[in-house]
Chain A
Amino acid sequence: MKKLLQVTNIVSGYLNRPVIHGVSLEVNENSSVAVIGPNGHGKTTLLRTLSGFLPLRGGSIFFNGNDASHMRVQKRVEAGLVHVPQGDQLFSDMSVEENLLMGAYLQRDYSNTNKKLENIYDLFPKLKERSGQVASSLSGGERRMVGIGRGLMTDAKLMIFDEPSLGLAPLIIEQIYEALQELRKSGMAILVVEENPSRILNFADKICLLDAGHIVWSGTVDEAKSSSHILQTYLGG
């Protein structure tokens, strides 16, 4: 299987202090990797570094065979590395449909774009109902759907989801993860970051544990379940 994302020993942080000290991970084509860990230990910093908002202070990032370590944010998106940010970050004065279409910003083939839009509406029928509504008037769950749908509109080769279940009611989280499962089945490479690991166990092929800016453990879900220490500390039981 081809290594789509290869992160080696990266160091990154804010001002004078590195938050991430030597993190390494890999995401292969057609696989899904989950990064879990307590809040404040570098998960969002890691993702912002992967998408290019934070400069790399050490180590390297290779995406699809190319050195992406110092690529600008927009270039990484063009290459197919798409980050669906925490808290949605929607375009608040644009409608649902305009937000979704922004995902297709880089595409020039309008018929393809329209097809993708229809697929998103099939996946999230609620959004079709509200397609003309302005994004700031949506509920939390609907906003999350727009955020994810927007990411799906891109020509992504690997999608990074930053806490897709954050702040949502359990029923909505179900729906979100159903959509993510569909995505996974369709063959998309996925990297998910979650603080709450309960969903991850049925979703990811591989799990990495991020603690205090280090990856302290990584392995398959089965390996995680069979290690009682991991179970207790990070998976609640």
Chain B
Amino acid sequence: MDVLIQIIITGITLGSMYALASVGLSLIFGTLGMFNMAHGLFMTLGAYAAYSAAISLKIPLLLGIFIAMGAGALVAIVTHLAVVRFMLGNSEFGMNVLVATAGIGIILEDLLLKIYGGYPYPQVLKVEGLVKIANVAITYQAIIICLVALLLISSIAFLLMKTRLGRGIRATAQNRDAAMLMGVKSDTVFLQVMALAGMLAGVAGLMISTQATLSPQMGGDPLLKAFVICVVAGLGNVWGAGLCAFGLAIFEATIGFYIGVRFGFPAMLLLVIAVLIWRPQGLFGQEKVVRL
């Protein structure tokens, strides 16, 4: 029973971080049609930005979160303005932007390596201490992670469903041309989506770094997992991504406890392969009918 609770807690904590990472990625794919290979670096930058601010200015965690959001949003906006928006008209956009964002990711990673060095630091901006409920120990940091994720994702949900900005985003994601015919400025929407996704990624990075360490390559693993989650949910399905983030996190935690941590990701991968073979459009996705 204790093990079960531990698994659920680990799963929810992991799931919160994965959800923060995947929701942004899914949003980007849904609206721009792009696989953002630089998303891991958006996360890493958020973590490093908060770290640097904490080291030099001694800021509280809350401010650190805002800085992480800001850094993530900034790098996402620059990525869009400097590279992505020039590629949008091309018919090979999907493949090209994957390569371009991979290139951007490598450049950013190398820059971080040059600035901070490759040696992993512990994240300074974390809350220590834990609380015991029943027989299970829960760290305060884990609680903060879950709360932050809950707050941010519900804010995004509200934004998308109830505001004019959100309707513009959803309309562009569902039918770009029709949205333009309603007067929605797609260029603005793309920028908004990148900023939002970057914000979420930045916070995700900060949170992930509190559970492990800061290093320039730290974003690679979360990026892959976020992709896997988005694909299982059905690319572009933002809520599905959030749900699958938790589902897969709990799955990973379960495998980790019972079989071994190193098999967590391979097990996730097998699950993904199975899903893709059974339902290539993802669990919540819709089959695309291609008219020849």
A77 engages B174 (CB within 8 Å): no
Residues of A whose CB lies within 8 Å of any CB of B are 51, 53, 73-74, 77-78, 82-83, 85, 89-94, 98, 101-103, 105-106, 150, 154
Taking CB atoms, residues of chain B closer than 8 Å to A98 are: 167
Of B42-50, B177-185, B270-278, the segment with at least 4 beta carbons within 8 Å of chain A is: B177-185
Q: Which of A82, A92, A94, A105 is the one whose CB lies under 8 Å from B164?
A: A105
CB contact under 8 A between A91 and B171, given known A74-B185, A105-B164: yes
Q: In the complex where A91-B170, A98-B167 touch, is A105 in contact with B182 (Cβ < 8 A)?
A: yes
Contacts A105-B167, A105-B168 given; indicate if A92 touches B175 (C-beta within 8 A).
yes
Partner of A53, one of B171, B175, B177, B184: B177
The answer to whether B184 touches A74, judged by C-beta atoms less than 8 angstroms apart, is yes
Beyond the given pairs A77-B180, A89-B178, A94-B171, 10 more chain A to chain B contacts, judged by CB atoms under 8 angstroms and listed by A's residue number, are: A83-B181, A85-B181, A89-B175, A89-B181, A90-B175, A91-B178, A92-B174, A98-B167, A103-B182, A105-B171
Q: Which residues of A contact B182 (CB under 8 A)?
A: 77, 102-103, 105-106, 150, 154
Q: Are B184 and A105 in touch, CB under 8 angstroms? A: yes
Interface residue count for B (Cβ, 8 Å)?
17
Given A105-B164, A105-B167, A105-B168: A94 in contact with B183 (beta carbons within 8 A) = no
Q: What are 15 residue pairs bridging A and B, where the CB atoms are less than 8 Å apart in the complex? A: A53-B177, A53-B180, A73-B180, A73-B181, A74-B183, A74-B185, A89-B175, A91-B170, A91-B174, A102-B167, A102-B171, A105-B182, A106-B182, A150-B182, A154-B182
Query: Which residues, 156 to 177 on B, are CB-close (under 8 Å) to A?
Result: 164, 167-168, 170-171, 174-175, 177
CB distance from A109 to the nearest CB of B (A): 13
Q: Which residue of B lies closest to A84 (CB)?
A: B181
Count contacts between A and B, CB distance < 8 Å.
58
Contact of B183 among A78, A85, A92, A93 (CB under 8 A): A78
Give every chain B residue within 8 A of A101 (Cβ-Cβ): 167
A105 touches B183 (CB 8 A): yes
| Majority SS at the chain B contact face | helix
| Closest chain A residue, CB of each to CB of B164 | A105
Residue of B nearest to A101 (CB): B167
A83 — nearest CB in chain B belongs to which residue?
B181
Distance of A150 Cα from B171 Cα, bound (Å)? 13
User: B233: shortest Cβ distance to chain A, in Å?
Assistant: 14
Which residue of chain B lies nearest to A91 when distances are taken between CB atoms in the complex? B174
Which residues does chain A contribute within 8 Å of B175, judged by CB atoms? 89-92
Given A74-B184, A102-B171, A105-B184, are A90 and B178 also a contact pair (CB < 8 Å)? yes
B168, A85: Cβ atoms closer than 8 Å = no
Interface residues of B in 173-217 (CB under 8 A from A): 174-175, 177-186
| 9 pairs of A and B residues whose beta carbons are closest in the complex | A89-B178, A77-B183, A106-B183, A73-B180, A91-B174, A105-B182, A102-B182, A74-B183, A74-B185
Most chain A CB within 10 A, of B168, B182, B185, is at B182
